[in-house]
Copies of this chain bind each other. A is one copy, B any other.
């Protein structure tokens, strides 16, 4: 067991909100920020902000506040964004292609190292220098390339079997886009991507707009 306290989903989301906000302040040329300002801008109680930042072992200075660049580097460390890790995608349908071509990898500290699909008409094609390989090569490539993170972008019916394969090949984290809960060993990290939340957040904002 880690001596680190388990950080809850809500705290992770708060840290991501801080990160985005601090990066924005940084782009505006700001050097310092107070917990009060962070809290008010994001709608989070100042006491929670202070607690979260204290958890990053960062100390604010009276009146001046926190050094933005230092806070950001502590958050990047929490999210393991300082070193580049290798990722692979399984499933080169519409979603897999959209993800392969997106700019998310570099932003989050990843290199897209491999793509797999079981459709022979797709194998051999590719995106930006990453060739699509047959799923039969998955085990060997994940091992030789030392890939530890995989995206499941397969049809829902193939997701569970894909997860089993990935885990047996040594994958430690799965970003799952299939709309089902994967059955994997406890030590495997799984992030189920829910696009529904973005849509619901927008509905809320539109409702607010309409009643203004």
> A-side interface residues toward B, CB under 8 Å?
1-2, 4, 6-14, 16-17, 42-45, 48, 78-81, 85, 93-95, 97-99, 101-105, 107-110, 148-149, 172-175, 179, 187-191, 193, 195-212
Minimum C-beta distance from A46 to chain B (A):
12
A209 and B193 form a contact (CB under 8 A): no
Closest to A97 in B: B94
Whether B173 contacts A206 by the Cβ 8 Å rule is yes
- Asked if B79 and A10 sit within 8 Å, CB to CB, the answer is no
Chain B: CB-nearest residue to A187? B209
Q: Please, which residue of chain B has its CB at the minimum distance from the CB of A188?
A: B209
A195 → B minimal CB distance (Å): 5
Chosen A-B contacts, 23 in total, with CB atoms closer than 8 Å, are A4-B211, A10-B14, A10-B42, A10-B43, A10-B44, A12-B204, A16-B201, A45-B45, A48-B48, A81-B203, A94-B97, A95-B95, A98-B98, A99-B195, A102-B195, A108-B200, A109-B203, A173-B205, A173-B206, A173-B209, A175-B202, A191-B199, A191-B202
B175:A108 contact, CB within 8 angstroms: no
Once bound together, how far apart are the Cα atoms of A78 and B211, in whole Å? Answer: 12
Knowing A4-B211, A191-B198, the reply to whether A108 touches B203 (Cβ < 8 A) is yes
- A43 → chain B closest CB, angstroms: 2
Q: How far is the CB of A54 from chain B (nearest CB, A)?
A: 15
Determine the distance from Cα of A104 to Cα of B195 in the docked complex, in whole angstroms.
Answer: 7
Instruction: Name the distance in Å between A45's Cβ and chain B's nearest Cβ.
Output: 7
Looking at the complex, which one of B80, B193, B199, B202 makes contact with A198 (CB distance below 8 Å)? B193
Q: Are B1 and A212 in contact (CB under 8 A)?
A: yes
CA distance A211 to B110 in the complex (A): 19
Q: Does B43 lie within 8 Å of A200, measured CB to CB?
A: no
Q: Could you tell me the distance between the alpha carbons of A73 and B81 in the complex, rounded to whole angstroms? A: 39
How far apart are the CA atoms of A204 and B204 in the complex, in Å? 28
CB-based contact A202/B189 at 8 Å: yes
Q: Cβ of A174: which chain B residues have Cβ within 8 Å of it?
A: 202
Q: Which of A6, A81, A94 has the most chain B CB atoms closer than 10 A to its own CB?
A: A94
